[in-house]
Amino acid sequence: MSTRVPVSVIVPIKNEAANLPRCLASVKWADEIFVVDSESVDGSIAIAQQHGAKVVQFEFNGIWPKKKNWALENLQFRNEWVFVLDADEVLPPAAEAEFAQAISGAGDIFGYWINRRFMFMGRWLRHAYYPNWNLRLFRHAFGRYEKLTDAPTNSGDNEVHEH
C-alpha cells in the first residue's frame, strides 16, 4: 500500500531494546505510532525515535492496566482507530491491508478481535493458547481496559498459603 493506514498504534514499554526494532518495523505502515515508556535505560527511546515513533513518558498512577488506559485517556490521537501492540509482538505483513479494509468499511463497528499466535524460535506453537482472541483494534473513544484492582498488584508476600 502506498498511503499510511489511519490507525494510531500504542506500544507500552520499559527496556524493550531487544524487541522494539521488529515490533515497530511490523507497523511502519501505521499513520501514527506512540511508544509509551516507563523510564527505559537500555536505548529503547532512541530506537523508537529512529523508527519515527512519538515517545511519551509515563509515570505509574496506581491503576492497572496502567499504561494502556493512561494512553487512551491522555494521548492526542490523529486517528479514530487505535491498535495496542506489546513490544514483543510482531504483526504479519498482511495486517496492513487487513486493517485498512476493516476500518474503511467499519460503519457502526467499534472494534475488532485479533487472534494471536504464540511463536517460539520462529515456530508457531499450535497448541499453546490458540486460539487467543484479543480486542486490540478499536475506536479509542469507546474502549478502555478493565481496571483489575486499585490495590498494589504485589503485597510482597509471595508464598503459597494453605487454609
Residue ranges of the domains in the chain? 5-142
pLDDT digits (tens, 9 = 90+) for 116-125: 777 777 787 8
pTM: 0.83
In CATH, what number does 5-142 get? 3.90.550.10
In the three-class reduction of DSSP (H, G, I as helix; E, B as strand; rest coil), residue 47 is classed as helix
What pLDDT digit, counting tens, does each position of 141-159 carry? 888 877 765 555 555 554 5
Most confident of 2-11, 43-52, 56-65, 125-134: 43-52
- Binning the chain into helix, strand and coil, the percentages to the nearest 5 are 20, 25, 55
Looking at residue 96, its amino acid is E
